[in-house]
């Protein structure tokens, strides 16, 4: 359905305060795991995803809701808008994880502090929404009466059937809950639970649809000492979080999943499929697993964990036969995209943590991070990228300087300390020659001057090789 047609249909349904049954009917369809990108899994059934009238109406209604937020005076401070530091509707999962880590690590930077995190995953959250209660809350929030009536008609009297092969089940009418896989359902659930707020200033609630996290920031043992069951790790939005904020468990889980998909990549290679098809399979199955929420955890991974993930990329390269982006390149690219999206979106929870430099159009680093409001975890979002660029610039400068220093043999490797030492002696020797030449003390032809400089530089090079310490050997070059 085109955008113009969808807008016209949405206008008609808006004026009549009701949604036709044909626009919201859901037909369940069984699909294979390989078709997961084209299907939505809901309640054990995989609903076919296509641009029918219902999905277009959902998108238009969501834009209406997001474009007209309720008056802030009717909301708690934690849910003043649809997207604040504690209401992350329409954000990605790595934003939610980064927000939790930001709250925790900012608090842990202080003395005598610790954090308790409670992860809540409501069972059948969307299926238990009572439309009448939702409409009452929407009315209290100041939403338009026509919009409330439209939502009520959309949620009640929904026909639903299941399609398996050539068989159809009988149609069932539903009047409770919100449709699974509908883009409007998470927003409706967020509005339904907007009054779920904290009572103590040291507690924070981070909401992501039906996944809710309660972060308790405790200082100097200021608590009632009630017994709490503590776990060493938990899985939150597909990422394994450890109690000490290390990521070895998460990288181990990721590497296992990726290694399983390498078997299918080898099978496709044995079937003599071309490289473009193998690359497409790699990006859809293996790279997507390796880069899942990578901006939230890769920056603090150990060198061993990074080598494990990079080893999987190298194996995929050998199987496909082409060069693939390294795991560090994936992290760098996604960090830059994430930083730019945060800067461009004033409603993003982390927007206040970033500021543009005055000369951002000419600068190589257009984004800086406010250190006053950032813990060490958040400050590392772009630190690795900047350090990599700086190291590349330094290595390029030393490579150009090395070309100016004659050695015997010419391809002899020199450490950075040796290059600097020889360069300083080279410059001093040239200055001496220029001073003597300006005073008329020496008269050399161009050919004899080049021979003199080359001979002296060979002597300097051999002298440095004889007296250079073992620490400045070839292995010191990085």
Given this model, what pLDDT does residue 360 score?
A: 46
Q: Give Cα separations from 447 to 431, 443, 450, 454 (angstroms).
A: 18, 12, 5, 11
Phi and psi (nearest 5°) for 16? -90, -5
Domain that holds residue 435: 404-476
Residues 21 and 163 reside in one and the same domain: yes
Residues 383 and 408 in one domain: no
Mean pLDDT value across residues 103-112 = 81
Q: Is residue 395 part of a domain?
A: no
Residue 85 pLDDT class (50, 70, 90 cuts): very low
Mean per-residue pLDDT, 39-63: 37
Mean pLDDT within 446-454: 50
Give alpha helix (H) positions in 272-355. 275-281, 287-290, 294-297, 303-320, 327-344
Q: Which of 360, 387, 414 is the last residue of a domain?
A: 387
Arithmetic mean of pLDDT, 403-415: 71
Is 239 part of any domain? no
Residues 95 and 216 in one domain: yes
pLDDT at 233: 84
Are 383 and 421 members of one domain? no
Distance CA 416, CA 393 (A): 14
Is the same domain home to 214 and 284? Answer: no
Q: Among candidates 348, 78, 400, which has minimal Cα distance to 213?
A: 78
Domain match, 192 and 273 both:
no
Q: What confidence score (pLDDT) does residue 18 get?
A: 58
Q: Is residue 35 part of a domain?
A: yes
Q: Based on the domain organization, do 8 and 47 belong to the same domain?
A: yes
Task: State the pLDDT at residue 458.
Answer: 52
Residue 467, pLDDT above cutoff 50: no
Closest CA to 236 of 220, 205, 212: 212
**387, 419, 440 — which closes off a domain?**
387
Does residue 463 lie in a domain region? yes
Q: Is the pLDDT of residue 430 over 50?
A: yes
Q: How far apart are CA 75 and CA 225, in angstroms?
A: 32
Is residue 123 included in any domain, yes or no?
yes
Task: Identify the domain boundary among 169, 197, 230.
Answer: 230
CA angle (373 as vertex; 199, 290 as ends), nearest 5: 95
Q: What are phi and psi of 46, to 5 degrees?
A: -105, 110
In a shared domain, residues 313 and 287: yes
Q: Does any domain span residue 325?
A: yes
Mean pLDDT of 441-460: 51
Q: Does a structural domain hold residue 236?
A: no
- Shared domain for 423 and 280, answered yes or no, is no
Q: What is the pLDDT of residue 49?
A: 32
Give me the mean pLDDT over the 219-245 stretch. Answer: 79
Residue 67 lies in a domain: yes
80 by Cβ neighbours in 10 Å (0-12 / 13-18 / 19+) ranks as middle
Q: Are residues 326 and 194 in the same domain?
A: no
Number of domains into which the chain is organized: 3
Note the pLDDT tens digit of each residue in 117-166: 888 877 777 888 888 888 888 888 888 787 888 888 878 887 888 888 88
Note whether 282 and 218 are same-domain residues.
Answer: no
> Are 290 and 217 contained in the same domain?
no
- Could you give the 3-state DSSP secondary structure of residue 404? coil
């Amino acid at each position: 359905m085109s955008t113009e047609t969808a807008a016209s249909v949405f206008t008609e349904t808006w004026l009549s305060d009701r949604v036709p049954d044909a626009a919201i009917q859901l037909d369940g369809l069984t699909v294979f795991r390989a078709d997961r990108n084209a299907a939505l899994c809901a309640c054990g059934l995989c609903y076919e995803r296509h641009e029918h009238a219902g999905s277009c109406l959902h998108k238009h209604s969501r834009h209406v809701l997001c474009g007209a937020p309720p008056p802030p005076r009717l909301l708690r401070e934690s849910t003043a808008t649809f997207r604040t530091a504690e209401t992350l509707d329409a954000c990605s999962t790595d934003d939610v994880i980064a927000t939790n880590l930001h709250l925790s690590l900012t608090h842990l930077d202080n003395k005598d502090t610790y954090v308790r995190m409670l992860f809540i995953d409501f069972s059948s959250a969307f299926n238990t929404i009572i439309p009448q209660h939702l409409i009452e809350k929407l009315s209290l929030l100041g939403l338009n009466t026509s919009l409330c009536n439209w939502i009520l008609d959309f949620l009640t009297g929904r026909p639903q059937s299941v399609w398996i092969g050539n068989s159809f089940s009988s149609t069932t009418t539903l009047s409770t809950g919100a449709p699974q896989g509908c883009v409007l359902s998470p927003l409706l659930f967020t509005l339904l639970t907007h009054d779920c707020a904290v009572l103590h200033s040291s507690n924070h609630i981070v909401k992501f649809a039906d996944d809710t996290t309660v972060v308790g920031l405790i200082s100097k043992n200021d608590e009632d000492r009630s017994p709490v069951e503590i776990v060493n790790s938990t899985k939150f939005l597909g990422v394994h979080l450890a109690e000490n904020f290390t990521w070895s468990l998460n990288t181990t889980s990721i590497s296992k999943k990726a290694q399983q998909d390498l078997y299918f990549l080898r099978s496709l290679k044995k079937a003599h499929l071309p490289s473009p098809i193998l690359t497409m399979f790699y990006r859809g199955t293996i790279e997507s697993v390796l880069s899942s929420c990578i901006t939230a955890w890769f920056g603090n991974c150990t060198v061993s964990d990074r080598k494990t993930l990079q080893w999987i990329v190298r194996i995929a390269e050998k199987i496909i036969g082409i060069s693939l982006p390294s795991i560090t390149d994936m992290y760098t690219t996604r960090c830059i995209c994430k930083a730019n999206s945060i800067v461009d979106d004033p409603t993003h929870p982390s927007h206040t943590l970033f500021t543009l430099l005055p000369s951002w159009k000419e600068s190589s680093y257009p984004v800086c991070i406010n250190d006053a409001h950032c813990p060490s975890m958040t400050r590392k979002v772009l630190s690795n990228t900047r350090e990599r660029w700086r190291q590349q610039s330094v290595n390029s400068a030393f490579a150009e300087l090395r070309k100016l220093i004659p050695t015997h043999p010419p391809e002899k490797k020199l450490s950075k300390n040796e290059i600097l030492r020889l360069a300083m002696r080279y410059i001093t020797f040239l200055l001496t020659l220029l001073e003597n030449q300006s005073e008329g003390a020496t008269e050399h032809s161009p050919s004899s001057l080049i021979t003199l400089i080359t001979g002296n530089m060979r002597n300097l090079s051999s002298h440095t090789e004889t007296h250079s310490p073992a620490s400045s050997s070839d292995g010191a070059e990085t």
